[in-house]
Chain A
């Protein structure tokens, strides 16, 4: 049934961005008109350390094809140490996801400062391209969550 109405692959990509650096970097990409694919949808969090691995698992379960987490550069965290926690947590989570069949390419951590609109756009372009090359994610997806 799914195969029949299969449209062109349109990935779902969730980007968690910390309020102080990366979300501001995304705003800067916007005001500098630096395009990246519309497949990326940003969720604002106060700090990268607010990103609970549960959120990422849920995204994959709900059919996300890629999840990227962006925070302030190491040493620049608005809350001093938040991104260090985030980095450690994500390293663990991503290797576990890889083990579960969600390839490393579908998850990514990037440090983007409020001044790095160009970097934000470049990273998103790269990431989306990667997801296109990996195709649809079917490993963790819970089909009961699919809208018919």
Chain B
């Protein structure tokens, strides 16, 4: 057996109160450990992680001149860093510490003392065998660029940016559409207080635009991301607006005079039209129009140019080109929000064929004074005021088949109650019926809100699903079931509103791939820990804000946006980050320059250089692999791909893992 004579190993066995000691015979573990070659010290303690326990480790390192430490305790995911810290304080390289997990992997699952003890001994031996081969590693440092990027300028992105900027750091917001504001700018009034959405959103938009630390890139998209936590390099594509931001005064003459006015208006959910030169809404920030080149007559035929003629500021610029802005950031926040799902697979609701069947977001626009009907509730088919309305909840949410989403969209119960209440308030003679599967109102003042809709506003709630909506004599025929009274329902109504499921913005896949952030099966971005790290992505330096992480209403979005901001601030407050030294390293003597490793590295950390090597006295220049330790994340893919065994991973080297295998199979 190969024993590195210079290694002096100390083994520390923790009782964890009775958590370990109850099913592992600590004394036998100590005895077995002491017999292993290289072990010069073995002791146990009630709580190794406590200050007193750590002191024992420190003292033993000094007194016995230990070169390696094995702690038999809970999971390394729990206390590896604690014991590394203790070692470092005693002057030992922190990477000379290994943990034998005898709690989560032994005492908590094996109730038989004999079995538990035996397994604990084997795991201890494996850790000893590994630590014998550990080498001191030096964590590097990488500089933190003290600027943050926020992708998405909805309420989530705006709030995160404001909070980071208020802490004194520079923030850039990249927003895809011509204005910041997101979905919230499309809402009319908001639950649970029924205040007007624009009245609470617009001041925040203005604050963000005026903040000296915030730069807003609208009509822009993130094109490329490289780098890593602390120093991401990002290319932002500023799409050509065709209007010079510095000259435009926002007078709006161009939009009025533009002859191409038949373009579906996205902001009003395509319920009316806009011009080819447009700002999405009156309070847009920035209040500078863009030319939609696909629909602009000048760009299509070369003739027209009306906007340029009417613009007194001379701001219209047909020659403008897309511009790529390259910036560095220490942290990136994703706040790309959501959209409602497409309803083409739900033929039963006749959404495609009947203009009087609308989604809730369309209703928000219809109720809004700046909307397609100037805020009058009317049927889109004939402009008549409805006498009766039916709301259908959970359209595409909590759906068992693949047409919809398995999850609850969370906001629909509340906004449907809001819609029902607002309509009954403004138009008391309109009869309002809501079909629901469950009414879910967990939230402060939420259930009270829903009960007001039923009790004060006389909204009829029917538990049951709607099977079909069809046009019938100029009205709509709704077929459904009342599950409480167990009867079928057939009713005529004038308008049907579908509380449509929400889904992450479809772009998010592209964004997640660029950032190597993970997304779940529903395309929501995943958090690092569902309970304890809800605003961090598992990828270091990437943070999550708003609905891109999961369905949320505005109060929750704002709370999460603030949480993401504080995490970013915590990161940006550091001057340097400690880098993981467990990175790959190639041995130039074995490397044959084949490029196998480079191909599998997901971080582009491997490059090749011509280096003079001294191979047993023969000097020659060879093309060899070289790992950039700042980019390498230590996955080890390259080590297995390497056919010549040149590439190895520090801290998890081939020899170390083989030693563990041997110890376990002994």
A interface vs B, CB < 8 Å? 12, 14, 19-20, 23-24, 26-27, 29-31, 33-36, 38, 41-47, 49-55, 58-59, 62-64, 75-76, 78-82, 85, 89, 115, 121, 145, 147
A26-B104, A42-B105, A50-B635 are contacts. A82–B602 as well, Cβ < 8 Å? Answer: yes
Within 8 A of A (CB), among B99-116: 101, 103-106, 108-112, 115-116
- CB of A41 within 8 A of CB of B122, answer yes
Docked CA distance A51–B502 (Å): 40
Question: Of B170-178, B409-417, B656-664, which binds chain A?
Answer: B656-664
A30 near B103: Cβ-Cβ < 8 Å:
yes
What residues of chain B lie closer than 8 Å to A79, measured between beta carbons?
602-603, 633, 635, 637
A85→B654 CA distance, assembly (Å): 18
Tell me which of B108, B633, B661 contacts A31 (CB under 8 A). Answer: B108
Cβ–Cβ contact B104 & A27, under 8 A: yes
The answer to whether A12 touches B602 (Cβ under 8 A) is no
A89:B666 contact, CB within 8 angstroms = no
Give 30 CB contacts A-B under 8 Å.
A14-B665, A27-B75, A27-B105, A29-B109, A38-B110, A38-B112, A38-B116, A38-B118, A43-B661, A46-B636, A46-B652, A47-B637, A49-B600, A49-B636, A49-B637, A50-B657, A52-B640, A55-B661, A58-B658, A59-B664, A59-B665, A62-B661, A64-B661, A64-B664, A76-B526, A78-B635, A79-B635, A80-B602, A82-B602, A89-B640
Which residues on the A side are within 8 Å of B132 (C-beta)?
A: none
Closest-by-CB residue of A relative to B122 is: A41
Q: Does A38 contact B115, Cβ atoms closer than 8 Å?
A: yes
> B664: which A residues are within 8 A, CB to CB?
12, 14, 41, 43, 59, 64
Closest residue of A by beta carbon distance from B117: A38
Instruction: Given A53-B640, A59-B665, decide whether A35 and B109 contact each other with a Cβ distance below 8 A.
Output: yes
Given A38-B119, A43-B126, A147-B666 in contact, is the A50-B639 Cβ separation under 8 Å? Answer: yes
Q: Are the CB atoms of A76 and B518 closer together than 8 Å?
A: yes
Is A26 in contact with B635, judged by CB distance below 8 angstroms?
A: no
Q: Are A63 and B665 in contact (CB under 8 A)?
A: yes
A50 nearest in chain B by CB position: B636
Cα A81 to Cα B603 with chains together (Å):
10
Bound together, the chains give a CA A125 to CA B13 distance in angstroms of 28
When distances are taken between beta carbons in the complex, the residues of chain B under 8 Å from A85 are 600, 637, 640-641
Is B104 a contact of A44 with CB atoms below 8 Å? no
Determine whether B542 belongs to the interface, using a CB cutoff of 8 Å to chain A: no
User: Would you give the shortest CB distance from B110 to chain A, in whole angstroms?
Assistant: 5
Q: B639 near A52 (CB under 8 angstroms)?
A: yes
Whether A12 pairs with B634 at a CB distance below 8 angstroms is no
| Bound CA–CA A26/B103 (angstroms) | 11
A contact residues around B123 at 8 Å (CB)? 41
Contact A82 B637 (CB under 8 A): yes
In the complex, chain B residues whose CB is within 8 Å of the CB of A42:
101, 105
Q: In the bound complex, what is the Cα–Cα distance between A23 and B666 (angstroms)?
A: 23
Binding site for A on B (CB under 8 A): 75-77, 101, 103-106, 108-112, 115-116, 118-119, 122-123, 126, 516, 518, 526, 530, 538, 582, 600, 602-603, 633-637, 639-641, 649, 652, 654, 657-658, 660-662, 664-666
- A35-B110, A55-B657 known; A115+B633 contact, CB < 8 A: no
Residue of A at shortest CB range from B516? A80
Residue of B nearest to A72 (CB): B518
- Is A33's CB under 8 angstroms from B665's CB? no
Residues of B within 8 A of A30 (CB): 75, 103-105, 108-109
Q: Name B119's contact: one of A31, A41, A45, A55 (CB within 8 Å).
A: A41
Residues in A with CB closer than 8 Å to B661 are 14, 43, 55, 58-59, 62, 64
- Bound form: Cα–Cα A89–B104 in Å: 29
User: B665 touches which one: A12, A31, A49, A54 (CB < 8 A)?
Assistant: A12
4 new A-B pairs (CB below 8 Å) besides A31-B108, A43-B661? Answer: A35-B109, A43-B657, A78-B538, A85-B641
In the assembled complex, which residues on chain A have CB atoms less than 8 Å from the CB atom of B76? 44
A50 to B77: give the CA distance in the assembly, Å.
Answer: 18
| B103 contact set on A, CB distance < 8 A | 30
Select B518's contact among A27, A55, A75, beta carbons within 8 Å: A75
Cβ 8 A contact of A46, one of B518, B538, B635, B665: B635
Q: Which residue of A lies closest to B78 (CB)?
A: A27
Nearest residue (CB) in B for A29 is B109
Contact A20/B538 with A49-B640, A52-B639, A55-B661 known, Cβ cut-off 8 Å: yes
Contact of A34 with B636 in the complex, beta carbons under 8 Å: no
Which residue, A53, A75, A80, has most C-beta atoms of chain B within 10 A?
A80
Which residues of chain B are within 8 angstroms of A51 by Cβ–Cβ distance?
Answer: 640
Across-interface contacts of A12 in B (CB, < 8 A): 664-665
Contacts of B126 in A (CB 8 A): 41, 43
Please give the distance in Å from A70's CB to the nearest CB on chain B. 13
From A52, which residue of chain B is reached at the shortest CB distance?
A: B640
Min CB distance, A79 to chain B, in Å? Answer: 4
Query: Contact between B636 and A47 (Cβ–Cβ < 8 Å)?
Result: yes
* Chain B residues near A80 (CB-CB < 8 A): 516, 602
Q: Are B640 and A50 in contact (CB under 8 A)?
A: yes
Task: Establish whether residues B637 and A62, one from each chain, have CB atoms under 8 Å apart when the complex forms.
Answer: no
Residues of A near B600 (CB, < 8 A) are 49, 81, 85
Most buried by B among A20, A42, A115: A42
Closest approach, in angstroms, between the C-beta of B77 and any C-beta of chain A?
Answer: 6
- Is A58 in contact with B105, judged by CB distance below 8 angstroms? no
Contacts of A115 in B (CB 8 A): 530
**What CA separation (Å) do A46 and B602 show in the bound complex?**
14
A51 to B661, CA, bound (A): 12
What is the minimal beta-carbon distance from B120 to any residue of chain A, in angstroms?
9
Chain B hits for A20, CB < 8 A: 538
Tell me the bound Cα distance from A64 to B658 in angstroms.
Answer: 13
The distance from the CB of A20 to the nearest CB of chain B, in whole angstroms, is 7
State the 10 A-B residue pairs at the shortest beta-carbon distance, nearest first.
Answer: A30-B104, A50-B636, A62-B665, A79-B635, A49-B637, A38-B115, A47-B635, A27-B104, A30-B108, A38-B119
Instruction: With a 10 A CB-CB cut-off, give which of A36, A54, A79, A121 has the most chain B CB atoms.
Output: A79
**Which single member of A14, A36, A62 contacts B109 (CB below 8 Å)?**
A36
Q: What CA separation (Å) do A47 and B664 show in the bound complex?
A: 20
**Given the complex, which residues of B lie within 8 Å of A89, measured CB to CB?**
640
Residues of A within 8 A of B658 (CB): 54-55, 58
User: Residue B654 contacts which of A47, A52, A64, A81 (CB distance < 8 angstroms)?
Assistant: A52
Once bound together, how far apart are the Cα atoms of A55 and B641, in whole Å? 14
Q: Of A38, A50, A82, which is within 8 A of B649 by CB?
A: A50
Q: Which of B75, B104, B110, B538 has the most A CB atoms < 10 Å from its CB?
A: B104
What residues on B are CB-neighbors of A29 within 8 Å?
104, 109
Residues of A within 8 Å of B652, CB to CB, are 45-46, 50
